[in-house]
Chain A
Amino acid sequence: MDLKNEINKPVNTKKTSILDIFKGTSKQSRSMRSKLMLYLFCLVLAGTGILLLLLVAGGVFSESGTRLEQYLQVHLQNQKKDIKERVDLFTTNGIDLSKRLSGFLEREVLSYPYDIKSLDNNEVELRKMQENMYLLLESKLHVTRASGVFAVLDTTVNTSAPGAEHSRSGVYLRIANISGNVLEDDVFLFRGNPNVAMQNKIQIHNRWNMEFDIQNMDWYNEQISADNKKSLSENYLWINRQHLEDTWENCIFLTIPIVGSESGRYGICGLEISSLLFRLSYPKYESKYGDMVTIIAPTDQGKLLVSDGLCGSQGSSYINENEDLFIDPGKTYNTYFNAQGKYIGIQQPIDGVFDLQGRQWSVAVLVSYNSFKEQERYEKLVLVIILMMFSLVMLLISFIISRRFVKPIERGIENLKTEDFYKTQNHSGIKEIDILAEFLKTKEEQYKNKGGALPKEVEELFDRFIENSKELTSSERNILGYYAKGHEISELPDLLCISLNTVRKHNRNIYMKLEVNSKDELQIYLDLLIRCGRINEII
């Protein structure tokens, strides 16, 4: 190997890889590019960290919860407004119905002193009265768009019939078919004299009965009681969900006593909302967190009593309508749960809606906990992926920037390493490198102008050493050449195919002729001559 080339070899020509950045941290010497890239990446990581902190502080990671609450609030307000309007419509029409029935009874049927019991066993009068009540009831049914309307009078057509003590005369009309949002006009007679149906050309219900059985109406006696002195506007009740006997339907009722002008109670009247009507009137609201379900139900002791109320259509948020829900109140929304499932939702009381037990009814909107969590996880994943992508892109940018930044510096250093860099006028494009090149050039010129720039005593020593070397034999010169290349004494027997003793003999002659005392001293001379570029004068 040529000694010159060996000396002029670049210090580090290895390409920098991403791995070097991480590895470089444990090394004493690191490339400028690795360091720069590391600094840039640390900067990006710090920036990402700050961004993350800002996102956390700004509530981006709890955004799903906030947004769900907003959705729930908006939906709840809409539903509440609609339900309140409907409740008011029912209440005003129910009270109006009660007043009209009372007036009609006193005007057309009863005679003073008004006693509803005077109609007992009076088949003809009761039939006539029911026929007259029909139009009023039917009009209320259509005005309110309820699923049923009824009026029960505290009298019976046959006091000697079995079960007469629980049997009360009256009319109960039900909408024949409820499908979609369109209520069919067909009406069935559910309770009442079949002649009422015949006269009005309607059919009797498949589970028709002549009279009401008040055993199934535990609120009846409370409302009919003479002790009840409340005014009509205070005395209406919402009755918890009841199964309509022998049918597949469940209903809630608004009931109002029929109060006479002298505070006598003639019976009760009211309106029905079937679970089907409610389900179709309050369809599920599809949100990205799952289908929102509307429920109206009484609340009591931390529970939403779903089994007493009505559920809107459920979609994928399945709620068992026969199981009450425990409420775990939260800051922004509540958690509702029972053995069947867990839900997230909010609720608000409906003004003026109380049941027989005095419990306040509320409207609630609920969404399945699982579907919300699924969506929340998805949204967080998207954020994490975005941050990861951002970091990766930043790493790539750091890599490119550091490469572009270091490249001209490396090139400049390479130029400085060439022997005759001072002869050329290359500009690196980097001010600091160019200043360094200028400095080195000046130094080189000074060195040249001073004739080697070595101190005089050293110069004389070098000259004598070179002069003495002329006395060396060709073998000794050859050995000296190997020492100049950095080989050790022990390597020479193999390289020259001579014995070590012969080498030692040549060494002694070399030391003597060159006036040196040791191999180390000889090596210093050789190194200095190499550095001064005068080695070729002795070899």
Chain B
Amino acid sequence: MNKRMGIIFAVILITAIIVGCTGFGRKNDKPVVLTLWHVYGGQTDSPLNQTIDRFNETTGKEKGIRIQVTSVSNTNTIHEAVIAAANKEPGAAELPDMFVSYPKTVLSLPDKDILVDYKDYFNEEELKAFIPEFIQEGMIDDKLMVFPVAKSTEILFVNRTLFDRFSKETGAKEEELATWDGVFNMAKLYQKWSDDKTPDIANDGGNFFVHDYHFNYFQVGCESLGEDFFSDIADGGKLAFGEKFKQIWQPYANAAISGGVWLRDGYATEPLRTGKAIVSVASSASVLYYEDVVTYENNISEPIEVISYPVPIFENGKKMVMQRGAGFCTVKSTKEREKAAAEFLKWLTEPENNIEFVVKAGYMPVTEKAFEELPNASEKLENLKYRSLYEALAKTKKDYTFYVAPQLPNYLDLEMHFEKNVRLELSRVEQEYKDALQNNTQTDINTYIEEAYENLVQAMK
């Protein structure tokens, strides 16, 4: 018996030695590599990339997770790429493991179940640490599919250097920018003031104001005045074009047709960078893209000071502002990869890491604790542009109600069509009005405002 045990023991020992020598059963040290498409930084030096580098070198290394950024663009581009990939369109890129998008992208997916429900990886206690509205925005069909990492809102940016020059000669005051009427009146005034600078060239006044999303102006405007911007939500949703809409259309179109509003496609950064507009309403995250200089066509650059205010409001309207900022979606794969994605998001939303990232990118943090610590962090900011932004964000959070856009399946379509049509129609009518002024024909601006409105309503139908 003892001899038999000895033989068995010897066999086990030999096997163990062989196995040990050959390294079988060694822990697999290959990291889980997760690809990511995000929007934080766009064409600039991305603060999220820097934070990801830090994750990869520290916690990621420890836990065997590596995040690889394969695209930094914008939510619209990601939306198109994700939809193309999800529909397996020819030539479409493969879906990354994680991408940043708004709920509207998820709602447009042919199959929402390709995305991870974060409730499988975050317990209730962990989710309670987040601002409830931010979590709520990412809930689709009772599943948390869009995870908040950084939230933005709309902010009024002013090129104070050029504004002061204008203000000195016209008596315009920054305080007037607190209401939309003030902004649009000032836009008309600025257009005239800049036109008068070159008396030999007629109608060459500059734009004063630029809005990133006209759609948001009208949407929040209507809602702040107590009117639904959308109607027939149960049937897919369309624009209501109610009385309040027309009320807020009036001053906007007036300023635009007069030449005081920048109507070209794209973000507000372009006219501010070239001095072709001096006031903008854009995402707080735009701060990353606003440079501290303006360059003119003669290649002379001038340093400028950019300051921030909460967005203007309508008289008798609620102080309401659009809540913006996309979230992280994770594509379902293996449990190991999904867990790795959740680990990364847990790390990124830890107050210290979250604040480090958001203050560089002009966003708000997403947890209650990080919000408590935000003033300390923003006070330490050396860049005046960023410090001013966080002061404006603090006022916004204190005084304003955040408006969250409804989850309509055709939201993005409506937004894109509206944006395109408003810009197109107002640009066309602006040119018509300019020509009329030149030819001294029909110069009643209200006719043009009405014409543009009717055309817009028609186009949206």
Contacts and interface: CB of A to CB of B under 8 A. Distances in A.
Contact of A182 (B33, B72, B93): B93
A258 interface: no
Interface string B42-61: 11111001000000000000
A206 B77 contact: no
Interface stretch (B294-302, B317-325, B334-342): B294-302
A316 B295 CA distance: 45
A158 B300 contact: yes
Secondary structure call for the B interface: loop
A198 B264 contact: yes
A204 interface: yes
A123 B299 CA distance: 10
Contact of B269 (A197, A206, A384): A206
A210 B299 contact: yes
Interface in B23-81: 23-24, 26, 28-31, 33, 37, 41-46, 49, 66, 68, 70-74, 77-78, 81
A290 B33 CA distance: 13
Contact of A204 (B7, B37, B274): B274
Contacts of A176: 73, 77
Contacts of B241: none
Contacts of B94: 180
A370 to B, nearest CB: 7
B92 interface: yes
Contacts of A164: 299
Interface residues of B, number: 54
B41 A178 contact: no
Interface string A203-220: 111111111000000000
Of residues B42, B43, B45, B91, which shows the largest number of chain A Cβ atoms within 10 Å of its Cβ? B43
Interface in A290-341: 290, 313-316, 318
Given A177-B73, A206-B289, A377-B23, A316 B44 contact: no
B215 interface: no
Given A19-B7, A179-B70, A374-B26, A248 B44 contact: yes
Interface residues of A, number: 59
A316 B42 CA distance: 26
Interface string A169-189: 000001011111110101010
Contacts of B269: 206
B266 interface: yes
A197 B30 CA distance: 46
A248 B72 contact: yes
A180 B93 contact: yes
A204 B22 CA distance: 59
Contact of A314 (B18, B68, B71, B74): B68
Contact of B45 (A194, A248, A318, A377): A248
Contact of A276 (B71, B77, B265): B71
B81 A314 contact: no
A179 B101 CA distance: 15
Contact of B300 (A161, A181, A318, A388): A161
A246 B44 contact: yes
A205 B43 contact: yes
Contact of B270 (A123, A179, A203, A314): A203
Contacts of B295: 208-210
B33 A315 contact: yes
Nearest to B71: A179
Secondary structure call for the A interface: mixed
A247 interface: yes
Contacts of B265: 201, 203
A449 to B, nearest CB: 52
B321 to A, nearest CB: 24
A380 interface: yes
A28 B45 CA distance: 87
A384 B24 CA distance: 12
B299 A161 contact: yes
A17 to B, nearest CB: 9
B3 interface: yes
A104 to B, nearest CB: 22
A184 B91 CA distance: 11
Of residues B72, B92, B94, B267, which shows the largest number of chain A Cβ atoms within 10 Å of its Cβ? B72
B424 to A, nearest CB: 12
A201 to B, nearest CB: 7
A203 B45 contact: no
Contacts of B276: 194
B188 interface: no
Nearest to B50: A248
B70 A279 contact: yes
Contacts of B22: 377-378, 380-381, 384
Contacts of B66: 318
B109 interface: no
B273 interface: yes
A402 interface: no
Interface in A111-157: 123, 127, 156-157
A173 to B, nearest CB: 13
A208 B294 CA distance: 11
B85 interface: yes
A354 to B, nearest CB: 30
Nearest to B94: A180
Interface string A230-273: 00000000000000001111000000000000000000000000
A378 to B, nearest CB: 7
Given A179-B70, A248-B72, A203 B267 contact: yes
B19 interface: yes
Contacts of A31: none
Nearest to A373: B23
Contact of B77 (A127, A156, A177, A371): A177
Contacts of A210: 295, 297, 299
B277 to A, nearest CB: 12
B31 A157 contact: no
A248 B49 contact: yes
Of residues A123, A162, A316, which shows the largest number of chain B Cβ atoms within 10 Å of its Cβ? A316
A276 B70 contact: yes
Contacts of B299: 156-158, 161, 164, 167, 210-211
Of residues A206, A211, A315, which shows the largest number of chain B Cβ atoms within 10 Å of its Cβ? A206
A530 interface: no
A193 interface: yes
A180 B70 CA distance: 8
Given A176-B77, A279-B70, A247 B23 contact: no
A358 to B, nearest CB: 32
B129 to A, nearest CB: 30
Interface string B319-363: 000000000000000000000000000000000000000000000
Contacts of A248: 41, 44-46, 49, 72
Interface string B268-305: 01100110100000000000010100010111110000
29 contacts: A19-B3, A19-B7, A123-B298, A156-B299, A158-B300, A161-B300, A167-B299, A177-B73, A177-B77, A179-B93, A180-B92, A203-B266, A203-B270, A206-B42, A207-B43, A210-B295, A210-B297, A248-B45, A279-B70, A280-B70, A313-B70, A371-B30, A374-B28, A377-B22, A377-B24, A378-B23, A381-B19, A384-B22, A388-B18
Interchain residue pairs A-B with the least CB separation, the first 4: A180-B93, A381-B22, A177-B73, A203-B266
Interface of B: 3, 7, 18-19, 22-24, 26, 28-31, 33, 37, 41-46, 49, 66, 68, 70-74, 77-78, 81, 84-85, 91-94, 264-267, 269-270, 273-274, 276, 289, 291, 295, 297-301
Interface of A: 18-19, 123, 127, 156-158, 161-162, 164, 167, 174, 176-182, 184, 186, 188, 193-195, 197-198, 201, 203-211, 246-249, 276, 279-280, 290, 313-316, 318, 370-371, 374, 377-378, 380-381, 384, 388
Given A184-B77, A247-B45, 16 more contacts: A157-B299, A158-B298, A161-B301, A179-B71, A180-B93, A181-B91, A194-B274, A194-B276, A206-B289, A248-B41, A248-B45, A280-B93, A318-B31, A374-B26, A378-B23, A384-B22
